[in-house]
Amino acid sequence: MIRSMTGFSRIEKEFIEGKFYGEARSLNNRYLEINLRLPKLDYSFEHLFRERIKKYIKRGKIDIVIKWEKPNSTLSNLKINEDAVRMYLEATKFLKNKYKIKGALTIEQLFATKDIFIYEENNNLPENNLTASFEELLKKLDEERKKEGRIIDKDLKLRIKTISSIIKEIEKQIPNIIKTHERRLRERLKEITKDGVLDESRVLQELGLYMERVDIAEEITRLKGHLKNFKETLSSDDAVGRKLDFIIQEMVRETNTIGSKACDFTISEKVVQIKVELEKMREQVQNVE
């Protein structure tokens, strides 16, 4: 089953040690691009998490944010940088003595200075809880991508069915096209023949040459083969977006050849219908992993 490259998931997990927040978003991208935001104390897990992501996702832009909060988190996480306070006070004293500056450094001014406060990261989540929660986040994202993929799959199969029906209509027109051309050929040869007597071998020869130029049987056979290959590829669990796009390119090529070879308005009209369906398929495939 194909997967869409777009999806979103969010989870919140309660543990004795605190609460886990995870948010994952995936978008279309030609390659796999991973943007992972973790608490500072979790950076050691970054390589492990990236490998887990690759297990579920082969292509797309992935943005994942992980946060951690201790239970009943308070200002206990906010620490005073005493070294910075001491340096600011010493610098103030030095400047006052050297340049005879009057006034005092107030607590409000001190609090406004940089690096006075240090916020300690809230992360003491056990590794097994952290990795299990991350895995759950990825599974939810994968399910969303599968869900969107099923919608795309249904639409693509419907368009395959439509194109197959149009091809059958084209095939039905081929005998009539041959008869029409034979009649026109005979009429033209009569006009250029003095006595109005046709050379049957000449008629058959001209008709044969014409059919060689306009025969679309081979292109129709290849187009049918591409449709079959496309439908079979949709059933794969691998990342098949690029392959599907390539198959559509081949179908467009065969369809264009049919349109250029078949000098018939009805078939030209059918070719346009096929190309419209293929363009809609291409748009959908751009979102397939």
pTM of the model: 0.73
Q: What pLDDT score does 75 carry?
A: 47
Give the residue among 49, 55, 57 at the shortest CA–CA distance from 4.
57
pLDDT digits (tens, 9 = 90+) for 137-167: 999 999 999 999 999 999 999 999 999 999 9
Q: Which residue has the tokens 């991973």?
A: 34
Where in the chain are all domains bearing CATH 3.30.230? 7-73+122-144
Give the residue among 229, 236, 228, 225 at the shortest CA–CA distance from 288.
236
Q: What pLDDT score does 251 carry?
A: 98
Q: What pLDDT score does 225 carry?
A: 97
Query: Which residue positions in the chain have pLDDT lower than 50?
Result: 75
pLDDT digits (tens, 9 = 90+) for 74-91: 545 567 888 888 888 888
3-state secondary structure of 72: coil
Topology of domain 7-73+122-144, per CATH? Ribosomal Protein S5; domain 2 (3.30.230)
Q: Is 215 exposed, middle or buried (0-12, 13-18, 19+ CB in 10 A)?
A: middle
Q: What pLDDT score does 115 carry?
A: 78
Q: What pLDDT score does 165 carry?
A: 97
